[in-house]
């Protein structure tokens, strides 16, 4: 399914881990050089500045080609030239992946995004009375294809968002009872998808999608929180019913708004899971915003000072927490995977003086 060579992706991952180990002085320059020679990768991935430049140039090229098609076919409906430009962009993307072996070079990113946008635009132009459910379904299909075929992280997030949008629109059109259950439905799906993505993340056959699965796990935590956030529930109810004002079960939504980030932080500390930890810390800000939107308990300056003191206190507590079985404190156990990987690489490709560990 994935467009890139599996061996090249594996070798690139090993080189990335070796580079991280070298930066942390876990392996030497000679060991790093031998690792690169043993695991060569022919994928072309430039630095971030070249990647941005290639992305912009590719977008400009596709835009010019689309303009030429529109001028050349001005007597026809714009659907045909726009769709043709999208199909050709997809063809160019496959060529750049298979021949020059571009991987996150900016060229393949731009071609994937422009092709998807052009295809969706052509469908929107051609369709009459295009409803939100159909739009969500089309976006989900294209984004899911981009995520599966090219392991694109942003396409993965768009596919998940489009799927939730599809569920939301179907429920909103199903009647009053279904509308009232939308928050519970989204929360249930978020929990289900979290366990599904967590299970898939451990499969070796899906190792090239692990970044996408990590983002999806984070997205499920965020979607669960937003589905139970008081502000979101109230605004969603006003949008659907056209009647702004307090919502039923407000005590439940306030409880979920306050306790969900704390639960995430607790789970992150307990399980040494950075996804839970960082997501929970980020959502604390959303909770503060929600509370301050309706209740001005403290002045903004004092509220920020209190929040900063709490975050510093949490960080200090984590850094000074008792060491685990391996003798390493909590904050270093979060990065244990890189430490172990670098040590194994070093022992395999050269003699190490372990006194530095």
What's residue 349's pLDDT? 56
Residue 29 counted as domain residue: no
What's residue 91's pLDDT? 94
The mean of the pLDDT values for the chain is 84
Residues 6+ apart with CB under 8 A from 4: 43, 97, 101, 103, 150, 151, 208
Q: Two tokens at 125?
A: 């132009």
Local confidence band at 180 (pLDDT 50, 70, 90 cut-offs):
confident
Residue 310 counted as domain residue: no
Residue 80 counted as domain residue: no
Q: Terminal CA-to-CA distance of the chain, rounded, Å?
A: 41
Match 């459910």 to its residue by tokens. Answer: 133
Instruction: Decide which of 45 and 130 is more confident.
Output: 45
Q: Which helix (H) or strand (E) holds 131?
A: none
Local confidence band at 133 (pLDDT 50, 70, 90 cut-offs):
confident
Local confidence band at 114 (pLDDT 50, 70, 90 cut-offs):
very high
Closest CA to 199 of 182, 168, 223, 220: 220
Are 66 and 119 in contact by the 8 Å Cβ rule? The answer is no
Residues 6+ apart with CB under 8 A from 189: 164, 167, 223
What's residue 219's pLDDT? 96
| Count of domains forming the chain | 1
Closest CA to 158 of 149, 147, 150: 147
Residue 28 counted as domain residue: no
Residue 156 counted as domain residue: yes
Residue 202 counted as domain residue: yes
Residue 167 counted as domain residue: yes
Q: What burial letters (b/e) apply to 173-194, b meaning 16+ CB within 10 Å?
A: eeeeeebbebbebbbebbeebb
User: What is 48-99 written as a DSSP string?
Assistant: HHHHHHHHHHHHHHHHHHHHHHHHHTTTS-THHHHHHHHHHHHHHHHHHHHS
- The model carries a pTM of 0.84
Local confidence band at 347 (pLDDT 50, 70, 90 cut-offs):
low
What is the share, in percent, of the chain residues with pLDDT greater than 70?
A: 87
What's residue 172's pLDDT? 84
Residue 94 counted as domain residue: no
Parent domain of 178: 132-141+149-228
Lowest mean pLDDT among 29-43, 169-183, 303-317: 303-317
Are 89 and 115 in contact by the 8 Å Cβ rule? The answer is yes
Q: Which of 64-78, 161-175, 331-345 has the highest mean predicted lDDT (pLDDT)?
A: 161-175
What's residue 340's pLDDT? 46
* 120 has pLDDT over 80: yes
Residue 251, Cβ density class (10 Å: 0-12 exposed, 13-18 middle, ≥19 buried): exposed
Eight-class DSSP state of 354: G
Distance CA(221)–CA(266), nearest Å, equals: 14
Local confidence band at 348 (pLDDT 50, 70, 90 cut-offs):
low
What's residue 357's pLDDT? 41
**Per-residue model confidence as pLDDT tens digits over 219-273:** 999 999 999 999 988 888 888 877 777 778 888 989 999 999 999 989 988 888 8
User: What is 263-285 written as a DSSP string?
Assistant: HHHHHHHHHT-HHHHHHHHHHHH
What's residue 56's pLDDT? 97
* 154 has pLDDT over 60: yes
The residue-averaged pLDDT of 209-219 equals 94
**Per-residue model confidence as pLDDT tens digits over 287-311:** 888 887 777 767 767 777 877 787 7
Distance CA(67)–CA(118), nearest Å, equals: 12
């Amino acid at each position: 399914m994935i467009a890139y060579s599996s061996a090249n992706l594996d070798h690139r991952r090993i080189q990335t881990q070796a580079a991280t180990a070298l930066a942390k002085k876990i392996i030497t320059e000679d060991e790093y050089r031998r690792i690169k020679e043993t695991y060569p990768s022919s994928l072309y991935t430039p630095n971030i500045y070249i990647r941005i430049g290639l992305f912009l140039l590719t977008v400009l090229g596709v835009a010019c080609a689309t303009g030429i098609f529109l001028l050349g076919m001005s007597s026809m409906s714009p659907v045909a030239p726009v769709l043709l430009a999208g199909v050709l962009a997809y063809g160019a993307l496959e060529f750049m992946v298979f021949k020059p072996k571009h991987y996150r070079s900016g060229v393949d990113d731009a071609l994937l995004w422009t092709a998807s946008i052009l295809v969706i635009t052509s469908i929107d132009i051609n369709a009459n009375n295009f409803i939100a459910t159909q739009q969500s379904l089309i976006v989900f299909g294209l984004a899911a294809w981009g995520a599966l075929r090219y392991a694109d992280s942003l396409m993965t997030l768009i596919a998940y968002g489009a799927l939730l949008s599809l569920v939301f629109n179907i429920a909103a059109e199903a009647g009053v009872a279904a509308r009232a259950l939308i928050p519970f439905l989204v929360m249930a799906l978020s929990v289900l998808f979290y366990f599904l993505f967590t299970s898939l993340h451990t499969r070796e056959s899906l190792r090239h999608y692990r970044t996408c699965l990590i983002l999806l796990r984070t997205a499920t935590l965020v979607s669960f929180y937003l589905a139970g956030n008081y502000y979101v529930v109230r605004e969603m109810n006003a949008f659907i019913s056209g009647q702004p004002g307090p919502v039923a079960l407000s005590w439940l939504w306030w409880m979920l708004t306050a306790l969900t980030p704390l639960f995430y932080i607790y789970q992150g500390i307990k399980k040494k899971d950075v996804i839970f930890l960082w997501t929970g810390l980020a959502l604390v800000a959303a909770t503060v915003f929600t509370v301050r939107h309706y209740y001005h308990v403290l002045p903004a300056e004092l509220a920020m000072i209190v929040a900063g003191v709490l975050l510093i206190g949490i960080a200090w507590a984590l850094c000074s927490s008792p060491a685990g079985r391996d003798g390493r404190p909590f904050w270093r156990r979060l990065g244990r995977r890189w430490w172990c990987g670098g040590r194994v690489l070093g022992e395999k490709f050269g003699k190490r003086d372990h006194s530095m560990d």
